[in-house]
């Protein structure tokens, strides 16, 4: 989703009477909740035992329908990260769950009634701060990026069986920066949709979802770590990088209009640039929140500050 909601009557302040239901969770996580039909999915971890717990609730009543634990090994985590930082993806058939430790990068499909369908280990996942990238579903495939300090790749899997359809190896460095961003499905005005991936090692890369071939790329765009997920506003594609809880810059990229064309950089925002939080947009206004808690609004087309 875009992170925006058009409900006209949201309360300015929240009290207990504003909640339809409220549940205590068995742990914490940094993933986002996902909804499919009457089911609400979210993940959490107790912070002491490695692993990722997938919970399914009735979205209307808050009653827990089922839960499933995905075990993993102990690993080094950033103090603000958890074992439950990857957001599940959903479609009419499954919930797709990703989790990792140093020796494993796993993804699984679970039916909407809580039964395991398939599970894959896609390699190792050596990082400085733990995991966080999430899968996306498009048509009959699940896509996920494993870009870390060890062997790295982008994977396309059959959503029904988990079998590999294609794999694109990515450059990596033992002292490099892991990417935590989730790919964007971009739909150009002309031509077929493609996936956009952000990482320090490969910059911003547009990839054909059918075969994994590169559509276009800006390889040296990001000198620092990428966490914020790529997003699009008014035909521009955005990405950021940073380090040490500080955003370095947010870049606005104008993708090529014709096949074989090259992307161009429209502008950069350095002042109060977001590093972890992904911005939201309303029409031509782009709303940013820096990791230091500074909110700002810019013109999405020009990058000029509004407030």
pLDDT digits (tens, 9 = 90+) for 15-37: 888 888 999 888 888 888 999 99
CA distance 118 to 110: 7
pLDDT surpassing 90 at residue 50: no
pLDDT in the model for residue 148:
78
The answer to whether 130 and 78 have CB atoms below 8 angstroms apart is: yes
For the cut 60, the answer to whether the pLDDT of residue 112 exceeds it is: yes
Model pLDDT, residue 202: 92
DSSP string across 193-258: -EEEEEETTTEEEEE-TTT--EEEEETTS-SSB--SPPEEETTEEEEEEEETTEEEEEEEEE--SS
Indicate the domain borders of the chain. 1-180, 183-307
Spatial distance between the Cα atoms of 192 and 215, rounded to a whole number of angstroms: 11
Q: What is the pTM of this model?
A: 0.91
The pLDDT value recorded for residue 166 is 98
pLDDT band at 1 (very low <50, low <70, confident <90, very high): low
The arithmetic mean of pLDDT across residues 29-58, rounded, is: 86
Percent of the chain having pLDDT more than 90?
A: 58
Tokens of 85: 């930082």
Q: Does position 149 have pLDDT exceeding 60, yes or no?
A: yes
The predicted-structure confidence for 168-194, as pLDDT tens digits, reads as follows: 999 877 767 778 789 999 999 889 999
Short-list 255, 247, 297, CA closest to 272: 247
Is it true that domain 183-307 has CATH number 3.40.50.720?
no
Q: How sure is the predictor about 88, in pLDDT bands with cuts at 50, 70 and 90?
A: very high
Taking the domain 1-180, which CATH number applies?
Answer: 2.40.128.630
105-133 average pLDDT score = 87
Compute the mean pLDDT over every residue in the chain, rounded to the nearest whole number: 89
Residue reference for tokens 């809580």: 114
**Which pLDDT score, from 0 to 100, does residue 19 have?**
86
Mean pLDDT of 220-232: 91
pLDDT score recorded for residue 143: 97
């Amino acid at each position: 989703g875009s992170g925006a909601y058009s409900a006209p009557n949201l309360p300015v302040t929240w009290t207990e009477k504003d909640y339809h239901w409220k549940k205590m969770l068995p742990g914490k996580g940094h993933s986002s909740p996902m909804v499919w039909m009457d089911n609400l999915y979210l993940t959490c971890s107790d912070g002491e035992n490695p692993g990722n717990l997938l919970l399914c609730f009735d979205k209307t009543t808050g009653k827990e329908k089922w839960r499933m634990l995905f075990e993993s090994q102990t690993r080094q985590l950033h103090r603000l990260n958890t074992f439950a930082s990857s957001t599940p993806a959903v479609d009419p058939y499954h919930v797709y769950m990703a989790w990792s430790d140093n020796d494993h990068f796993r993804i699984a499909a679970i039916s909407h009634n809580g039964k395991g369908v398939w599970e894959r280990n896609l390699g190792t996942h050596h990082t400085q701060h733990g995991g966080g990238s999430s899968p996306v579903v498009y048509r009959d495939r699940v896509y996920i990026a494993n870009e870390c300090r060890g062997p790295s790749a982008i994977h396309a899997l059959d959503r029904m069986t988990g079998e590999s359809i294609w794999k694109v190896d990515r450059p990596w460095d033992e002292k490099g920066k892991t990417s935590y961003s989730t790919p964007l499905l971009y739909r150009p005005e002309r031509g077929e949709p493609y996936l956009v991936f952000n990482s320090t090692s490969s910059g911003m890369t547009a990839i054909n979802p059918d075969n994994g071939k590169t559509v276009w790329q800006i390889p040296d765009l990001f000198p620092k770590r990428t966490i914020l997920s790529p997003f699009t506003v008014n035909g521009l594609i955005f990405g950021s990088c940073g380090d040490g809880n500080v955003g370095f810059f947010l870049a606005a990229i104008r993708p090529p209009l014709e096949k074989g064309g090259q992307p161009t950089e429209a502008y950069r925002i350095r002042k109060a640039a977001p590093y972890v939080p992904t911005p939201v947009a309303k029409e031509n206004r782009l709303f940013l929140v820096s990791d230091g808690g500074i909110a700002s609004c810019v013109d999405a087309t020009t990058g000029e500050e509004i407030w």
